[in-house]
Amino acid sequence: MAADLKSISYSIIIPVFNEEAVLPILLRRLDLLLDRLHEPAEAIFVDDGSRDSSPLVLQELAKRDPRFRYIGLSRNFGHQIAITAGMDAAQGQAIVVMDADLQDPPEVVEQMISKWREGYDVVYARRLSRAGESRFKRVTAHLFYRVLGSMSSVHIPADVGDFRLIDRKVLEALRQMSEQDRFVRGMIAWLGFRQTEVPFHRLERVAGETKYPLLKMARLAMNAALGFSDAPLRLAIWCGVTVSGLALLYGGWVLVLWISKDRHLVAGWSSTIVVVSLLCGMNMLMTGIVGLYVGRIHAEVKRRPLYVVQKRLGFEREQATPAHSAIRAVHE
Ligand code: UDP
Ligand code: MG
């Protein structure tokens, strides 16, 4: 096992969903990339339940060429799960996740690898520009990263997708995160380690259509917001406090009018409004409090590890986890 792990330096994971149009170009570019890497590398295609000829092409390739591997999921599980399946199978010391449509240029992978050689554990690619994407997608993506950044309890870099390189030890830590609704880029940010970026210009899709329609994008955004922030849960509390506060202020004012026998006071109506809005506010407040408990349950069921150790020194060898000792052998 250990010898096996050491023999492959790089794993390139490519999720594929109905990408027959891009495959010929992708395979040519990948071939060139793997040749240029000068070290043993594997490319893992994860077929995410494609209904076109992609699985056939990729299976043929995997039979012919040992550098290419194929994993076929039983149905469409979504991009994030496909990436996870690829990561679970990766054997390299550095693992790169890349889209199939060549919007993530393979040449950037070489820059990522040189950063990794400098000692960084996570190298993500930051998009300086996005060509060929609709105005709507650009605006929503821009907003998404900003809102998420302000809500999230960990720093999730903006304008960074899943195109990134991670070191084997980050992968081992990621595998301990067994949550169901996965937002992989957030999970890697949560893990920490030494992170850096490589800027790049995101190109147009070489062929075919996007496989991320609005609904899938919305689901990803929802997973990100719910998995990395409890701000939505606390929203009810703040609404409740605001509504109750306003109701109390209004109630005080009504009382003043009543005492001063102001003729503007509508009998019956004002007191009803005060009571209704106060009850509404209290209701929201209570929902918010329940939300706090739900938040705790949510955190528990995610089953994230409590902490992640980057390095251990001075322990007996057998106490160190195999993954960490394997990595140290590479870096030292
Ligand atoms: N993809 C996938 N499963 C899905 C949707 C997409 O494996 O359910 C893959 C797709 O084949 C591509 C990558 O995820 O390799 C990114 O998808 P796409 O390029 O369509 O997204 P966009 O760049 O438009 O956001
Ligand atoms: Mg794309």
Q: What is the DSSP string of 15-84?
A: EESS-TTTHHHHHHHHHHHHHHT-S-EEEEEEE-S--SSHHHHHHHHHHH-TTEEEEE-SS---HHHHHH
Q: Could you tell me what percent of the chain has a pLDDT over 90?
A: 35
CATH class of 7-229+304-328: alpha beta
Q: Does residue 15's CB lie within 6 angstroms of at least one atom of ligand 1?
A: yes
Cα of 306 vs centre of ligand 1, distance in Å, is: 31
- Comparing 104-108, 120-124, 127-131, which segment has the lowest mean pLDDT? 127-131
> What CA–CA distance (Å, rounded) separates 332 from 328?
6
Nearest protein Cα to ligand 1, atom 3: 79
CA distance 70 to 147: 37
pLDDT at 244 over 60: yes
15: which strand partners?
46
Largest CA distance in the chain: 93
Amino acid present at 174: L
At residue 58, does pLDDT exceed 90? yes
Q: How far is the CA of 99 from the centre of ligand 1 (A)?
A: 7
Q: Residue 126 belongs to what H/E stretch?
A: strand 122-130
- Residue 1 clears pLDDT 90, i.e. is over it: no
Is 168 near ligand 1, meaning CB less than 6 Å away? no
Strand order in the sheet with 10-16: 68-72, 41-47, 10-16, 94-97, 160-167, 122-130, 195-202
User: Ligand 1 centroid to 195 CA: how many Å?
Assistant: 24
pLDDT exceeds 80 at position 81: yes
